[in-house]
């Protein structure tokens, strides 16, 4: 299980994310339907800002083994960020 901890001025929030939910999110984010719609949703904004940023296709076959390996590495901190205003975000396996 992945744990996301967020500390802000008045808020402390811990969100446990089971690997099953993570696998479902990967399936949704790697679907062709979702990726095509992301292109549509961002196209207008990029044209206004005159940016040319192509979105790389995300491959489910690449991400699934990575998540499978992460299950074996319990306790590792993936993200530990502290902002100047005191906000902290930590992602831990």
- Note the helical H segments in the chain: 19-29, 32-49, 60-70
Residues 59-78: tens digit of each pLDDT: 888 888 888 888 888 899 99
Is the pTM higher than 0.75? The answer reads no
Domain count within the chain? 1
Local confidence pLDDT in tens for the 93 residues of the chain: 899 999 998 899 999 999 899 889 988 888 888 888 888 888 888 878 777 777 777 788 888 888 888 888 889 999 999 999 989 999 999
Residue 81: φ, ψ to 5°: -120, 135
Domain that holds residue 21: 2-92
């Amino acid at each position: 299980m992945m744990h996301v901890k967020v500390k802000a001025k008045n808020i402390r929030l811990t969100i446990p994310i089971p690997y099953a939910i993570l696998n479902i999110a990967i399936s949704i984010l790697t679907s062709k339907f979702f990726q095509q719609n992301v292109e549509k949703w961002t196209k207008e904004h990029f044209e206004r800002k005159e940016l040319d940023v192509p979105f790389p296709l995300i491959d489910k076959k690449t991400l699934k083994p990575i998540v499978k390996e992460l299950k074996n590495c319990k306790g590792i901190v993936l993200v530990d960020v502290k902002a100047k205003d005191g906000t902290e975000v930590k992602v831990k396996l």
